[in-house]
Structure 1
Amino acid sequence: MKRSRAVLISCLLALAALSCVSAKTFLKLNTTNDLKRIYAEKKPTPDEHSVPLLYLLANDINIVNNNIYPNFDPTNDYGSHIYGNSDRTPLLDPTPQGCYYYTMGNYKLIKQPNTCSPFRKLPPYVCHPKGMNTNMNRARIVLCLSRETYRWRIHRVYLTQHYENWNTAAYDPARTFEVSPRLLRELQWFSLHSSLVGLKKLRDQYNRNIDNNQLNDIVKKWGGQNHAALALLLFLLNLFNRRMNRSYGSEPTSNWQSCALQDIYVDVVTGDNGYATIRWSGFSEKLRNDGAAIVLNNHKDRVYVFDKSDNSSGSLKNIVPLNEGLQVRLHKISLSHSWFWSRLTLEEEICRGEEFRSPDAVPITNYAKLQLFVRDGYSCFRLYIDNCSEWKSKFSNSWVALYASDTEYTSNYKSKQWQWVTKFKQRPDSGEFKIYEYCTGTMVAPGLQARFMIKDYNEELSFSWRS
């Protein structure tokens, strides 16, 4: 009996070590309602910048049966470093055997300045999120990690922050919380609904008091749909500062509205031979009877006006050469007639679709990424370099090429449609990246594929043009 008890105790101790169990307890956040409650009720108030950081973590992990596995290096990426838990009064219990504490979120931490660092930086929406007060770089996430055979496993997640008194580097236990896998999974749910239709579903699920005007403003002020789900989350948590909250009042602040929020769908897609095609659907009978002109704009310039459509859906092909920024807008119209002519006059705008954007850039390394984009209908490459003065020596034998489809052999690229990346032409910096470009003589088309060769025919990555 004694022997069996000893075995049982040994097993329990081993399990505790593998699970990074801590005797110290903190308020556990299980849902976004818990997150909202601590910002509304907790005194002192937690740092609002913890939410974008937590959102980043949630969207770069896999959760399998409540086991959390990072898709990044939790010991180096995103401003991470080992956490010694060595404050005068330690925040956490000592790490059990096989576990380590790491802290992430220090956006001022530059481990290897200008030397092509292999580590991921914190994205701008974490460092300087729109609609929030100045980021004082206090928010942190502490991870309790153990190393499995080929990967890290996260056993515990703690949301914390530095004291507001910068005379100490310690974390504030009064503003430290444990984060459950359930909350992380809910935050992942937000990122999966980043389209306007998805945002409407989230709005209806969490807060029906947010009207389409407010939702439209969220999308507009956050620069489109890419981060609109995070913006909606911050809005639901009441974490915009007062200036932004006033702008999200009952009165619309935008002079334009999204068509998708009115269940009208208009967009620009890739047509034939590098030309733009317009598509539309959801034109109600009332809209058709009242009359609405389909207008194609390029940023502020009107480039094409198509008369009103008598069909609820349709398309118009090969209008103008395809370019980034093309956008379909609907306008009310008035018609005047005489014996010899009739004139269509554009009146107020009804709504607009999304601006046409080339596919997102694809990472080559943590300091370089490559984009296939369109300019005047032609396929072009854009190389983004971040904090790496030696990139040309790193890519001295690297080249890119275009392929008719993803089924082509690596050597069967389009005739003369390739270039050494070191011969790309430098363009104005974006502020965050140095930019280099090369345009081919091939028109964009659905299925066209770009490939990056690190050396010879050693393919590093490939990606296709979407329609």
Structure 2
Amino acid sequence: MLCLNRMKKLQVITGYCIVLLLVLTSVSAIKKLSTMDSLKQVNLGQSVPKHSLLLLYWFANTIEIDNNNLIRLTFDPNQGDYGSHHYGNYERMLEPLPHGNVRYRYYTVGNLNREMSSELPSYVIHPRVGFEGRNRDRIIFRVREENAGRQDRQIIDQVYITQHYEQADNQGTRYDPEHTYQVTTRLLNRIREFSDDEDYRDVMEDLRQLRDNFGSHADENQLKYIKNSWGELACLGLFLYIVVQEKTSSHQPSKRQKPPTREKKHSDFVVNIPARPRSSISANFTRLNLADRRDYMTLRVKTSACGTAMIHWSNIPGNYLNEGLMIALYKSDDDDKALFSKYIGNRKSGSCDTKIPLNEQLQARLHKTQTLCFFWKSLGEEIDRGDEFKSPEAVTISGNAAKLQLFVKNGKACARLYVSKHVDWKSIFKRAWVGFYSSETKSTQDYEWWQWQWVAKFTPVMNFQDFTYDTFEYQSSLNIAPGVQARLILDGYKEKARTPGWTL
């Protein structure tokens, strides 16, 4: 009997340990966001609604953070301010509340259907096109009440952004732990730097200072566009531009201005030396003028028949072939980590399929070979690099102040529609659709099976490059390949515009 009781106690203890382990595992899996770069790496617009940024911006500028980095609550969730209310953490997504003399409680805010959510600012309740969230995103915060009933002693010690599951997931009203992120005080402080000054005196100067402080690529025209389109919320507009529009890498140099080229003269040739030279490019190769080098040798990213990136090279100088060379594919001109590399030996010209899905900005580079561990070869000193891959230009849609572009994303054929801001595109393109064709010789009815979409269902995107157009995109499941074409069709099969067949 004694042994039986001990076994039962052991089973109970083991059960508690398993439950505790599961809770700790769930909590530890939640990612922590402490910098702007970590916020950029969240899959906004795909897995996470971009509306979360609006809600987070509002929250960061509503709470107070003192000199000791203590977050003080400025509203009363027990009274339902801003539609906030108690969150029970019944699914154990977050860590259990501590026990003791100090009371802790979780609260949530962001439900736009609650009665007092109307207190939220207009940019949260009525977001701009492209930032709708279908009322799924929320902020959860944990409050430490040192003296119950005294609001000035209510300290927020944890903040999370989260979202409800999609209805198709059949999870009820539970939150999705996979897309829940803890937001640190450090990041909240950084977001608070974008707070819009109420007196609105010198917005451009504020935008310039924020741009420089956060290493943004935005140039003067883009800042003016943000100021004009966002008005008193210009700093919010810049915050969204930096997080959504710009690349996630924190190592990218600013592209606002290209440094002037300095010319250094020699007796029989001219060398163009960049103001910030690439130290990795072979010094011997700079004997050739850049323009002459481009005529003499080519490095290019092209399209395979199945939507992957191919590297083409030709006319490599003989003095490099003797050393043995490697080609490599990079995400962009700013990246230093190769996505793909291959030893090409002494082949003066050739091509190679990288198996990497084709994307804009991919770049081919030529390297010397570095031998490691007997016969293992790796990338050595960089010799030269080609241009970044770009999709063809958009074609004009006659009579509609709009343009159609065929572009590539992750190896798939995509369509981008530019519509002038003064055009009522919903009326004009109400019954319009875009189809994808494997060849420009095919008739309008012979679009690829299920490779089409109504224009009204295109996804709106932010366009900071061309301020005169609203931009909408659609990604098909058709692999981009030579000959692929997009066409805009009105009223049945009446063709309005077509792009050239893909030749890149």
TM-score by structure 1 length? 0.45
Q: Which structure has the larger Rg?
A: 2
TM-score by structure 2 length? 0.41
Report which structure shows greater RCO (CA 8 Å, sep ≥6).
Answer: 1
